[in-house]
Amino acid sequence: MKFIRNIFTFLSRRSSWAIPYTLFLGMFVALPLVLIVIFSFTTNQGEFSLINFEKFVTQPEAVNTFVYSIGIALVTTFLCILLGYPAAYILSNKNLNRSQTTVMLFILPMWINILVRTLATVALFDFVHLPLGEGALIFGMVYNFLPFMIYPIYNTLQKMDHSLIEAAEDLGAKPSIVFWKVVVPLSMPGVTSGIMMVFMPTISTFAIAELLTMNNIKLFGTTIQENINNGMWNYGAALSLIMLVIIGITSLFSDSEEQSQNEGGII
Amino acid sequence: MKKFFAQTYLWILLALLYAPIIIIGIFSFTEAKVLGNWTGFSTKLYTSLFSGRVGGGLLSAIENTFTIAIIAAAVSTVLGSIAAIGIHNMRGKKRQIITLFNNIPMLNPDIITGISLFLLFITMGISQGYMTVVLAHIAFCTPYVVLSVMPRLQQMNPNIYEAALDLGATPFQALRKVIIPEIRPGMISGFILAFTLSIDDFAVTIFTKGNEGLETLSTFIYADARKGGLTPELRPLSTIIFVTVLILLIIINVRARRAERKQNI
Amino acid sequence: MTGNDSIIKIEHLSKAFGDKVVLDDINLSIRRGEFITLLGPSGCGKTTLLRMIAGFLKPDSGVILMEGSDISNVPPHRRPLNTVFQRYALFPHLNVYDNIAFGLKLNKVQSSEIETRIRKALKMVSMTDYEDRDVNSLSGGQQQRVAIARAIVNRPKVLLLDEPLAALDLKMRKDMQMELKQMHQELGITFIYVTHDQEEALTLSDTVVVMSDGKIQQIGTPIDIYNEPVNSFVADFIGESNILNGTMIKDREVEFIGHTFECVDEGFGHNTPVDVVVRPEDIYIIANTENAKFTGVVKSCIFKGVHYEMFVETDNGYELMLQDYNAFEVGSTVGMFIKPSDIHVMQKERTCNIFEGKMISSTDVEILGGQFQCADCGLQEGDNIYATVNFECVELMDNKEDGTVIGEVEFILYKGNHYHLTVLTDSGEKVYVDTNDIWDKGDIVGISVNISDLHISKRV
């Protein structure tokens, strides 16, 4: 009887309502990540081994794909900053743009199926008779991920205390000085967040590279997918872990709270 | 003058961003097999899409996509809302840890989420198919529901739960009659969000769908595109998806802005 | 008043949140039909006590009896009492009618009766015709009225009110006070009211319970509390007062501010140190200095509406606050006297600091979580001791690193010619300090004690 009452008081404490979800997170988020690590360090017989990592280091093709993917991701990220920063700046500046709808238009593509967007790029290249290949790949990547760069930068610029700019002007700074010495440093959290949100999916994409290059160029994500599909689970897991480490290193430069805010951005 | 250049820049960028989608939209109204050939206005692609004459399982892919999205969104909404109430009433370390784990699926790249769940299912010996896709979608949608219910709970006057108890409601009645009506807008936004995310997903689905021939729209498009063909019916379909997402997002935004305005009064 | 039997009895109630004791052995008996107010500064435990009576918190120990039966473990929804919350806590998704009907519907009251009872309740709070209004469109005062109606419509035996008027402006607050008092008379039920506003407590209550630091300081009628405060805390918290150190020479004779006064108190013994409280309006002030008991120079004079408030420095260097209908010129010498019945003598709660600690060497002692030097008095390492320090011997420093231990100024009492401070150390102990320096509440200070001022005695 007392036991039943204890259970009842326990359930009526509302903090215990998170228990089902905690179990769910343990099962479907924590455990799977642990499994990636376990698979990486074992053979397909289940014995501990570093063979998967040895295989990666000794295979020139895998390493080349890896380096090439990082290169593509860096170029994409750089181009996104170059194109996205001015756009975010204009959108957030009340003197240059007042329309919320324009902001919406820039954010919207974030929510459209990546395959549909990629197919659209392929269609565009077909339409203007341009060949698919490296150029199409970079264009497609920038086209896919540009909104993910614009949104976080726009967000930080938007929240920026406008009186800081006025203070700088008041202290005698020229507009160009105000921009480089006040606006840019203050928007850095948005830029790092944007770099994360562009670099991370670019390095981890698969499928879209095949579509944009007619299967001519392979990215690291595709290599992982192929291995998993061909039953090389342990090697695939090891490659995933390598990717996770790269992403983990990148994310050290960014504030995860800020980022999760930006991902949930549009709601 | 400055403003003119700024606006021009914005519109050129927007034109580039939307050009591919607009081209698909325009060419969904012509019959030509190859994109780029205009053979006169026609809604034949739309009618053939809906008449079921298209082969290759496009219709069943559409059906799967929507049923999976509805189930995943509904379960995520219930699970996430209950979890949000629980987390809201937690303090300190415990709360930080669960929030951290809640953020992982949102920060992880899709491919990692997909592969990790794939490894989970093969380790547990669960044969992959419809159920595993639904479970996987619940796993990456629920954090977003938690995220959209949480602010409603934070805005809520903490005394209203106690007021309900004080007036004679049992804890369950207080939940049903007071808390749920208060967080309902967050739950609805969370549901819509989960629904769009599920419909949109490709990477997680492809790793958890198994080999039994289950296809959703994304995986169907992928398989079709790899064959190099690009079924012409995909053009009206992409257009419809785009317009649907557009409408859903407008609804979410209008709701959010209305709530914000209400709060400011 | 409908009777003298008690409806709620609280016995030995204690509660701690973590290390912090918020209620310490509370005993209280509440009569049926009484308007009782729990009064005290924020953090004194009054809201915790109210929430415990409502059932939102469980006591760590002790019981709450309602009409003789223990309700400590009864969940809030089964207690026959209702609460009016500080921030109203109206259900935002329901209109005025449905808010008030909430409790009645849960209790399965017939809908025809619900309607008549709601009309009556709305009439009582002067909100007739507001049934269909959205609660979010109401003003603060109107929301509070609805919250009151929502509680009283259930005919609770006891109505709990948690600072219900705190969020209203002054004028509205005054109006609502009168209405609440009237409502209490009409309903005839027990009101338990929580506030930090002493004027509100005195205006409304039959009984005032003054609380501080989780303890009840004094229980009494408003007149008792005002005229006969039991200690310097109550005297300082209720109204304005001059609180001074004095000595009870013998029965009916007390010495303070350097003069001997006739008073009405007895039984303190001979030459006992006491606290003396004199209300500012009880010091009579005259221009003629010859017939006066003592004299002083007017330092400031401010018009306060009905009266003037003056600070006078007496012939022996004490500063007193006075209130009078006449103004006296700043700088002029005036005469003053006090009637024996207006001098309130109170037992001193303490005359010096006593800390428990232990020796860590023959010349070092650990008290207050720090290491202090002391004179060698033959005690050895590990001996348990009491350390005694006079109030004026504790040194406070601006730079907290300069002190042996760190503390926060928690409470300040002006005693005519010096300040009496209560400083809470990091170890959670209280150090009382007499000083002429001006500190503010919340200041973080270093505390040290001179080696010759620390007196050690063995503790068995």
C-alpha distances in Å from residue A262, one per residue of A186, A194, A238: 17, 9, 30
Rounded Cα distance, B64 and B70, in Å: 10
Of the candidates C121, C164, C118, the one whose C-alpha atom is nearest the C-alpha of residue C143 is C164
Q: Crossing angle for the helix pair B2-27 and A134-159, nearest 10 degrees? A: 130
**Is the per-residue pLDDT at A266 higher than 60?**
no
CB contact under 8 A, B162 and C76: yes
Q: Which of A35, A31, A12 is nearest to A22 (CA)?
A: A31
Confidence band, pLDDT 50/70/90 cuts, at residue A5: low
Q: Is the pLDDT of residue A229 over 90?
A: no
Which amino acid does the sequence have at A114?
I
Using the predicted structure, report yes or no on whether residue C64 has a pLDDT greater than 90. yes
User: Which chain A residues have a beta carbon less than 8 Å from that of B193?
Assistant: 264, 267
Q: How many residues does chain B have?
A: 265
Please, what is the Cα angle at A173 between A171 and A176, to 5 degrees? 160
Closest CB from C78, C86, C93 relative to B182: C93
- In whole angstroms, what is the distance from residue C37 CA to residue C210 CA? 8
H or E segment to which residue A148 belongs: helix A134-159
Residue C162: predicted pLDDT: 92
Chain C CB contacts of B164 below 8 Å: 91, 102
Q: What are phi and psi of B57, to 5 degrees?
A: 80, 20
Give the nearest chain C residue to B169 (CA atoms): C77
Partners of residue B167 in chain C, C-beta under 8 Å: 77, 82, 102-103, 106, 150-151, 154
Query: Does the structure's ipTM exceed the value 0.85?
Result: no
The whole-number pLDDT of residue C322 equals 93
- d(CA A149, CA A199) in angstroms, rounded, equals 10
Instruction: Please say if the pLDDT value at position C4 is more than 60.
Output: no
CA dist C216 → B66, C6, C29, C455 (Å): 65, 18, 12, 32
**Average pLDDT of the residues in A215-238:** 87
Task: Return the DSSP state at B91.
Answer: -
Which one of C106, C107, C135 would you mutate to disrupt binding with B, by most B Cβ within 10 Å of its Cβ?
C106
Average pLDDT over residues C25-31: 93
Q: Do B162 and C150 lie within an 8 Å CB cutoff?
A: no
pLDDT in tens, C359-384: 888 888 888 888 888 888 888 888 88
Phi and psi, residue C94, nearest 5°: -115, 150
Q: What is the DSSP letter of A179?
A: I
Mean pLDDT of C251-263: 92
Alpha-carbon dihedral angle through residues B92, B97, B99, B105, given to the nearest 10 degrees: 180
Check pLDDT > 90 for residue A98.
no
* Amino acid in position C353: N
Distance in angstroms between the alpha carbons of the first and the last residue of chain B: 37
Q: How confident is the model at residue C9 (pLDDT cuts 50, 70, 90)?
A: very high
**pLDDT band per the 50, 70, 90 thresholds, residue A259:** very low
| Antiparallel, parallel or unpaired: β C20-31 and C6-17 | antiparallel
Task: Tell me whether residues A266 and B112 touch, CB distance under 8 A.
Answer: no
Please indicate whether, in this complex, the C-beta atoms of B162 and C154 are within 8 angstroms of each other: no
Inter-residue contact C385 to C457 (CB < 8 Å): yes
pLDDT tens for C272-292 read 999 999 999 999 999 888 888
d(CA C93, CA A206): 47
**Would the CB atoms of A113 and B218 count as touching at under 8 Å?**
yes
Q: What is the mean pLDDT of residues C143-150?
A: 93
Interface test with A, best of B5, B8, B18, B21 (most A CBs within 10 A): B21
Contacts of C102 in chain B (CB under 8 A): 164, 167, 169, 177
The answer to whether the CB atoms of B181 and C85 lie below 8 A apart is no
- Tell which of A15, A19, A29 to mutate to test the B interface (max B CBs under 10 Å): A29
Residue A73 and residue A78: Cα distance in Å, rounded?
8
- Asked whether the beta carbons of residue C103 and residue B162 sit closer than 8 angstroms, the reply is no
Of C83, C87, C88, the CB nearest to B166: C83
B19: chain A residues, CB-CB within 8 Å = 124
Round to the nearest angstrom and report the end-to-end CA distance of chain C.
52
- Please give the pLDDT value at position C2: 41
Going by C-alpha positions, the residue among C220, C227, C336 that lies closest to residue C278 is: C227
Q: Which two tokens stand for residue B7?
A: 């606006």
pLDDT for A267: 36
Query: What pLDDT shows up at residue A264?
Result: 43
Burial grade of B57 (CB within 10 A; 0-12, 13-18, 19 or more)? middle
Residue C209 has pLDDT above 90, yes or no: yes
**B-chain residue closest to A39, CA distance:** B119
Residues 6+ apart with CB under 8 A from B92: none
Q: Nearest Cβ partner of B112 from A26, A243, A263?
A: A243
For residue C239, which amino acid is it?
G
Distance from C-alpha of B131 to C-alpha of B137, rounded to nearest angstrom: 10
- Of B113, B252, B101, the C-alpha closest to A110 is B252
B253 touching C (Cβ < 8 Å): no
CB contact under 8 A, B16 and A143: yes
Average pLDDT over residues A208-218: 82
Reported residue count of chain A is 267
Q: Could you give the CA distance from residue A17 to residue B191 in angstroms, rounded to a whole number?
A: 20
CA distance B51 to chain A (A): 22
Spell out a b/e string for B7-45, using b for 16 or more CB atoms within 10 Å of the CB, else e: eeebeebeeebbbbbebbbebbbbbeeebeeeeeeeeeb
CB contact under 8 A, A119 and B148: no
Smallest CA–CA distance, residue C103 to chain B, in Å, is 5
Instruction: Return left, alpha or beta for A140; rule: phi > 0 is left, psi -120 to 50 is alpha, else beta.
Output: alpha
pLDDT in tens, chain B (265 residues): 778 888 889 889 888 888 888 888 888 888 877 776 778 888 888 888 777 666 667 788 888 999 999 999 999 999 999 999 999 988 878 888 888 888 888 888 889 999 999 999 999 988 888 999 999 999 999 999 998 899 889 888 888 999 999 999 988 899 899 999 999 988 988 898 898 889 888 889 999 998 888 888 888 888 877 776 667 777 888 788 778 777 877 777 777 777 766 655 5
**What pLDDT is attached to residue B54?**
62
Residue from the list A83, A224, A259 with its beta carbon closest to the beta carbon of B13: A83
Q: What is the pLDDT of residue B114?
A: 93
Let me know the angle formed at the C-alpha of B4 by A266 and B8, rounded to the nearest 5 degrees: 55
The Cα of C56 is separated from the nearest Cα of chain B by a number of Å equal to: 7
Q: How many CB atoms lie within 10 A of CB B256?
A: 15
Selected residues 151-180 of chain B with any CB under 8 Å from a CB in chain C: 157, 159-160, 162-171, 173-174, 177-178
Residue C313 predicted with pLDDT over 90: yes
pLDDT recorded at residue A263: 47
Chain B positions touching A223 (Cβ under 8 A) are: none
Backbone dihedral angles phi then psi of residue A129, each to the nearest 5 degrees:
55, 45
C280's tokens: 């500012």
User: Residue C324: what pLDDT?
Assistant: 92
CA distance B170 to chain C (A): 6
Candidate from A112, A200, A228 with C-beta closest to B115: A228
Better pLDDT: C417 or C218: C218
Q: Which of A87, A224, A263 sits opposite B10 (nearest CB)?
A: A87
Kindly report the nearest CA distance between residue A89 and chain B, in angstroms: 10
Tell me, what's the pLDDT at C285? Answer: 92
Q: What is the pLDDT of residues A32-47, one digit of tens each?
A: 999 999 999 988 887 8
- Residue B105, pLDDT score: 85
Residue C305, exposed/middle/buried by CB under 10 A (0-12, 13-18, 19+)?
exposed
pLDDT of residue A253: 66
Q: How confident is the model at residue A2 (pLDDT cuts 50, 70, 90)?
A: low
Comparing alpha-carbon positions, the chain B residue that sits nearest to A222 is B111
User: Average of pLDDT values for C98-114?
Assistant: 91
Set out the domains of chain C in order of their start, with CATH numbers.
6-232 (3.40.50.300), 240-347 (2.40.50.140), 353-458 (2.40.50.140)
Q: Give the DSSP letter of residue C205.
A: -
**Segment A143-175, tens digit of pLDDT:** 888 888 888 898 888 887 777 877 887 887 887
Residue B55, pLDDT score:
62
The arrangement of strands across the sheet holding C207-212 comes to C81-84, C158-162, C190-195, C35-39, C207-212, C215-220
- Model pLDDT, residue C335: 93
pTM of the predicted model, to two decimals?
0.75
Which residue among B89, B138, B245 places its CB closest to the CB of A111? B245
CA–CA distance from C249 to each of A158, C252, C260, C269 (Å)?
A: 73, 8, 9, 8
